[in-house]
């Protein structure tokens, strides 16, 4: 197995693809890549339809999968808010690739049998495939997809992101094979001589205490431990120091439990969701997720220090377990809220990965939502960096 990643900031799409492709060939020759991950910034939106054919002219036998993005990552560099094309290529002997495109109306019901979900994506169950997933934010339910894939392929890892750069339905592009789709989801399942490890770093810290949702309606939180949530939040605010009070004005979130019936909750045990608004008369809060009664939730804050420490800890834990020299390539799906605007400098998360794993090929993009597993269950995250790390070998849990 061999991986390489390249990025070009040329403003002309054709020139950018050719430049990145030339760099890949120099690294990979004489081998031809099996898979190419292509992420293209919104500055090239006028040429989205040409991306598969342009890459195909350079690597005719490779499977292309990718999407549009506001900012892209390639060769371990994060190019934010500027024109860029990122190509990350894998030479994958002994690996079979199963690409697919799904529209929302093709998805089975949540309670459909596993075999119905497998038939929908058209991917064999054995050997356990590993999934890369890309979704459009305006036309697809990523959470519904990953729930179904978890049921149908419980031994498989799933990692990916939600396309960015578009402002309205039809603005984003999803690439798979020779096709360009403006809606739905695309993905590829890798099976055989490949292992996919995942690292999920949310980077938020809890404040206050965990509480139960005692009354809610859809995404409206009406009571926390029997009290109006706005009242609970105001009391919590009064206990915070000056810095945390400042963060509350722009970086306050609600964490939803990922696994019920815990004896205790700590940082990383919650899905981070936006607070969308409040009703001063009732004390209700509107949340960017559906709620259920008896669910455990906790308020969270996000800052650069917490995010950096969380990522560093998770990478260090992974490095200790990883056999030296076995990581071949990686892909990073990072939230639009991270990067330079959070850390004050570029390449923070990419530099952290390479500091722990060495100078491995790393590509990806900044997402509208990140897909990855926590404790055996796959979620659609926010404000997260989700890494997928490729190694040789049959996958085993």
Chain position carrying tokens 């969270």: 300
Kindly state whether residues 163 and 46 are assigned to the same domain: yes
The answer to whether the pTM exceeds 0.85 is yes
List pLDDT tens digits, range 203-229.
Answer: 889 999 999 999 999 999 999 999 999
Asked if the structure places residue 89 within a domain, the reply is yes
Question: Of 248, 267, 301, which marks where a domain is finished?
Answer: 301
Q: Mean per-residue pLDDT for 272-287?
A: 93
Task: Place 394 in a pLDDT band, splitting at 50, 70 and 90.
Answer: low
Beta strands 35-41 and 63-69 are parallel
The answer to whether the CB of 203 falls within 8 A of the CB of 338 is yes
User: 229 exposed, middle or buried (CB, 10 Å; 0-12, 13-18, 19+)?
Assistant: buried
The helix/strand/coil state of 126 is coil
> In the prediction, which pLDDT does 203 show?
82
Report the C-alpha gap between 392 and 315 in whole angstroms: 20
| 346 in the same domain as 209 | no
* Last residue in a domain, options 301, 317, 335: 301
* CB-facing half-sphere around the CA of 89: CA atoms within 13 A: 28
**Is residue 157 a contact partner of residue 196, using CB atoms and an 8 Å limit?**
yes
pLDDT at residue 261, as a whole number: 65
Total number of domains in the chain: 2
Confidence label for 375 from pLDDT (cuts 50, 70 and 90): confident
**Residue 355 binned pLDDT confidence (cut-offs 50, 70, 90):** very high
Structure tokens at 102: 């799904």
**pLDDT at position 127, please?**
85
Residues 192, 232, single domain; the answer is: no
Record the tokens describing residue 250, joined without a space.
């722009």
Q: Are residues 91 and 189 in the same domain?
A: yes
Are residues 81 and 96 both part of a single domain? yes
Does residue 110 form part of some domain?
A: yes
Q: Looking at the structure, tell me whether residues 211 and 195 fall in a common domain.
A: no
Q: What is the pLDDT of residue 256?
A: 92
Are 173 and 283 in the same domain? Answer: no
Query: Within 13 A of 84's CA, how many CA atoms are on the CB side?
Result: 23
Task: Answer whether 91's CB lies under 8 Å from 2's CB.
Answer: yes
Buried b (16+ CB within 10 A) or exposed e, 137-164: bbbbebbebbbbbbbbbeebbbbbbbbb
In this predicted structure, the answer to whether residue 263 has a pLDDT above a threshold of 60 is yes
Task: Round to whole Å and give the CA distance between 282 and 328.
Answer: 54
Residues 155 and 281 in one domain: no
CB 156 within 8 A of CB 396: no
List, in sequence order, the alpha helices (H) in the chain: 13-28, 51-58, 114-121, 142-152, 229-239, 242-248, 304-321, 340-343, 348-357
The percent of residues above 70 in pLDDT, for the chain, comes to 98
184 lies in which domain range?
2-201+307-391
30-72: pLDDT as tens digits = 999 999 999 999 999 999 999 999 999 999 899 999 999 999 9
Let me know if residue 355 belongs to a domain.
yes
Instruction: Report yes or no: 362 and 331 within 8 Å, Cβ to Cβ.
Output: yes
- Picking from 301, 330, 364, the residue at the C-terminal end of a domain is 301
| pLDDT for residue 314 | 94
Is 252 in the same domain as 386?
no
Q: Is residue 396 part of a domain?
A: no
298-334 residue pLDDT tens: 999 988 998 999 999 999 999 999 888 899 999 999 9
Share of the chain above pLDDT 90, in %: 85
| Whether residues 169 and 221 fall in one domain | no
Closest CA to 63 of 154, 186, 162: 186
Q: Which has the minimum average pLDDT: 46-50, 152-156, 246-250, 257-261?
A: 257-261
What average pLDDT does the chain have?
93
Q: Cβ–Cβ contacts within 10 Å for residue 168, how many?
A: 7
Give the C-alpha separation, 284 to 165, whole Å. Answer: 32
If asked whether residues 101 and 220 sit together in one domain, one would say: no
Query: Whose structure tokens read 């997402």?
Result: 367
Pair 114, 223 in one domain: no
Q: Is the backbone peptide bond immediately before 279 cis, with ω within 30 degrees of 0?
A: no
Q: How far does CA 222 lie from the centroid of its chain?
A: 30
């Amino acid at each position: 197995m061999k991986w390489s990643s390249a990025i070009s900031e040329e403003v002309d799409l054709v020139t950018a693809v050719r430049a990145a492709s030339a760099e890949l060939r120099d690294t990979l020759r004489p081998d031809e890549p099996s898979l190419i991950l292509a992420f293209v910034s919104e500055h090239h939106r006028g040429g989205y339809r040409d991306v598969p054919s342009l890459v195909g002219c350079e690597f005719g036998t490779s499977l292309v999968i990718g999407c549009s993005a506001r900012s892209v990552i390639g060769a371990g560099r994060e190019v934010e808010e500027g024109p860029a094309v990122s190509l990350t290529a894998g030479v994958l002997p002994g690996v079979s690739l199963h690409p697919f495109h799904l529209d929302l109306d093709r998805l089975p019901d949540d309670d459909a049998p596993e075999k119905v979900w497998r038939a929908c994506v058209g991917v064999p169950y054995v050997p356990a495939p590993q999934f890369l997933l890309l979704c459009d934010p305006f036309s697809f339910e990523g959470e519904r997809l990953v729930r179904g894939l978890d049921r149908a392929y419980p031994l498989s890892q799933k990692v990916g992101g939600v396309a960015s750069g578009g402002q309205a339905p039809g603005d984003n592009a999803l690439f798979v094979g020779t096709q360009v789709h403006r809606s739905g989801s695309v993905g590829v399942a890798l099976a055989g001589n490949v292992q996919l490890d995942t690292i999920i770093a949310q980077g938020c810290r809890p404040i206050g205490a965990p509480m139960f949702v005692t009354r809610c309606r859809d995404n409206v939180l009406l009571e926390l431990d029997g009290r109006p949530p706005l009242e609970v939040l105001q009391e919590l605010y009064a206990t915070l120091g000056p810095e945390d009070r400042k963060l509350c004005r722009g970086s306050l979130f609600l964490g939803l439990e990922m696994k019920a019936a815990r004896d205790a909750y700590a940082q990383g045990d919650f899905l981070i969701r936006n607070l969308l608004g409040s009703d001063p008369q009732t004390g209700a809060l509107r949340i960017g997720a559906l709620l259920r009664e008896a669910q455990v939730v906790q308020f969270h804050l996000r800052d650069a220090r917490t995010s950096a420490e969380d990522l560093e800890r998770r990478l260090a834990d992974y490095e200790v377990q990883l056999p030296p020299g076995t990581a071949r390539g990686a892909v990073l799906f990072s939230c639009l809220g991270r990067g330079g605007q959070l850390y004050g400098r570029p390449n923070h998360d990419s530099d952290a990965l390479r500091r722990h794993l060495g100078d491995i090929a790393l590509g990806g993009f900044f997402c509208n939502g990140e897909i990855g597993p926590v404790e055996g269950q796959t979620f659609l995250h926010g404000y997260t960096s989700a890494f997928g790390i490729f190694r040789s070998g049959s996958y085993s849990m």
